[in-house]
Chain A
Amino acid sequence: MSGFVIEDRERMQFSVSRETLVSPAVLEAEQHAIFGRCWIYVGHGSEVPAPGDYKTRTVAGRPVILCRDRGGQVRCFFNTCRHRGAMVCTGREGGTRYFTCPYHGWTYDTDGALHSVPGEDAYGPGFDKARLGLVAPARFEAYRDFWFLNLDPAAEPLADYLAGAREYLDLVIDQSPSGRLEVIAGVQEYDIRANWKLLVENSVDDYHLPSTHTTWLNYMRAAGVTTRPPRDSGLLLPTRGAGKDLGNGHLTTDNPNFRGRPVAAWISIYGEDAKADIAAIRQELVERLGEARAARVADTNRNLVIFPNVVVNDGSSVTVRTFFPTAPDHMHVLAWCLGPAEETPAQRARRLDAFLTFYGPGGFATPDDVAALELVQRGFANWREVRWSDMSRGMNKPADQQLNTDEGHVRVFWRRWSALMEQAR
């Protein structure tokens, strides 16, 4: 898979072959080299709060059950019966004591153990129920209740894999006085007719903001937000943000906030009565974390990519989204809103309202991102004639000078992608 990403430091040019974004062979190779080896986000512990709670979803193309067993442990199983293969859990979500296969009635405990088999006396002495439990992914680990699976038994521990991304997850989680975020009800689940890697790029590429999100900037301006860059600053946005390499292919933007933010940046959209409450949220942060850390949590925002396919946007609200390729030119997106577990009903309502000012398939910005990515994918039908995409912005500057509107952090993703694809050859 060499030759897809060309980095020419002398000429300060970084080029990505568009074949990587259209080719069925590349997608097939990614299934092994990327999704078969990296830690892949499954869900958050708060989605299954009580013993017996479960959610079903498709992760890396595999239908899985995310559940909490009777002992309180979060579990993940491939959703397929050991007998003849039917999915044993057909609901979207719920609470249960057992998963019962609808086909022949094999029944499993919530810890995966095979509980009962109708007509067990028809099997011989070699039939060992203890070895016929639901199969779990090779590895299933959490960092602060964000649960990931890994299909590679030899993978490094999740905490090591996350590298510098841990610090940025901590910043998001520090919004909560008890250190507990929860996933709020209501999932946004939609398709984009574009290669999955385009959403990685788009999630952290602040260069596109002024042109793609003109109408969102207008909306923010009407709400009292300063949307123009300072005069003679040379910036494209109101504040000087950074693009950062967090190791292992993870990356983030790290931006002084200029938008409305339910944690400590009031805008008129929130209403007059929210002012005092937001000041109180800020005060709690300062008392708990100190002025410097409170400012880091409240006054900076970040779009974090955990390689390969989970994005945490901590801006107008907090969203976690993950996405999986279903074809070279097609992805399926799952997105949730997260909030501090202890926030008041008024704070929760404000967070959800703030979310919709930007994010999601009916938001004021995400639809234009989707439109842009689909135009990119359609343009790629010309990939044989126009083969290379350019990602050179900022290469004329050192790593610690990379802006959020440069492409230094986008190059981090592509370097890692390229290295893993090479290793797998």
Chain B
Amino acid sequence: MSGATRSEVEELFYREAELLDAWRLEEWLGLLTEDAGYYVPPNDKPYADHRDTLFTIADNNARLRERVKRILDPSCHAEQPRSRTRRVIGNVRITGTEGDTILVAANFIVHRFRRGEDVRVFVGEYRYKLRREGGALKIAERRAILDAEELGSLGLVSFLL
């Protein structure tokens, strides 16, 4: 089976949200394909291409793995102490297919808390590419498009959005 049902996609999103919010990032990497990328476009050019536009984050798989290593490291000051996050995902839509790749969109709200800081609310749309590997649905690309006009008071994107 090359397609997917919405409930199967939702299961994957909920599992991912659980692992990310719990900082179980090594386990989270297991939800990704070997070549998975992670992108956060700039707020002023949300639909641009990272090859000709400066992104906030544009990780190929090698750098994504380095990012996980970095933010789990106690000397990553931006995440020490770690952000507490809680993400709510909804409006999940299967928007199309490209060969064996399933295109998915969903809305997200991520609340981020740190001691001594105000709560910061990241709102936007996920656009994912999913592929089936050995029967299991895996994440081949994740893109977090923020609705905010600028990062502004959201400050950094130092945790996994």
Contacts and interface: CB of A to CB of B under 8 A. Distances in A.
Interface of A: 92-93, 184-193, 212, 214-216, 218-219, 222, 269, 332, 336-337, 345, 348-349, 352-353, 355-357, 360-362, 364, 366-368, 370-372, 375, 378
B54 A349 contact: no
B91 interface: no
A371 B80 CA distance: 9
A49 to B, nearest CB: 15
Nearest to B80: A371
Interface stretch (B6-14, B68-76, B101-109, B128-136): B68-76
B52 A188 contact: no
A192 B48 contact: no
A191 B76 CA distance: 19
A184 B150 contact: no
Contacts of B41: 186
Contacts, number: 126
Contacts of A355: 54
A66 to B, nearest CB: 15
A362 B50 CA distance: 14
A191 B155 CA distance: 5
B78 A352 contact: no
B51 A362 contact: no
Interface in B71-122: 73, 75-80, 116-117
Contact of A368 (B58, B66, B69, B77): B77
11 contacts: A186-B48, A187-B42, A189-B43, A193-B117, A218-B69, A336-B54, A349-B52, A355-B54, A362-B158, A364-B70, A367-B156
B40 A219 contact: no
Contact of B155 (A186, A190, A352): A190
Contact of A361 (B51, B52, B56): B56
B5 interface: no
B50 A92 contact: no
A360 B57 CA distance: 9
Interface in B1-44: 40-44
Given A185-B53, A349-B52, A370-B78, A362 B155 contact: no
